[in-house]
Amino acid sequence: MTKVAKLVYVSFITRVVVDENATDDQIIEAAKPNLYEKVRLETYDNLEKIEDDTECPFGTFNEEVETFYQPETNEEGMIKGHEEEQCFSVEVWKSKELLMQTYPNCIPLTLTREDIENPCFVD
């Protein structure tokens, strides 16, 4: 199933009683319990809109990328088809197309976060 990014707009208003010289931080801290309760019980009542995130679509942020690509390497870490170039084990590309632009003759491997815990995105 294809993933997409959405923006969810919700507005909450709550009333708090604080000292007259309370700082903004103190007022917010006093409001948090009420706001948490409103989020828990009244989210749909306060929903303004849901829209597509066109500025940062799904996959914009590296932690959202579920599948990424890496060129196949030999035992020395040299890229097969580009034996003069090395690829470190954590270096990955977000798309196969970008990998193939960088290394046209490579053999692309498809990986997930289960394969590489902390991938380093090259593109």
pLDDT of residue 90: 84
pLDDT of residue 117: 74
Between 2 and 85, the more confident residue is 85
What residue ranges do the domains of the chain occupy? 6-52, 62-121
pLDDT of residue 62: 60
| 93: nearest Cα among 83, 79, 81 | 79
Identify the weakest region by mean pLDDT among 17-21, 60-64, 107-111: 60-64
Whether the full predicted model's pTM is greater than 0.85, yes or no, is no
Structure tokens at 89: 């084990």
Q: How far apart are CA 111 and CA 79, in angstroms?
A: 16
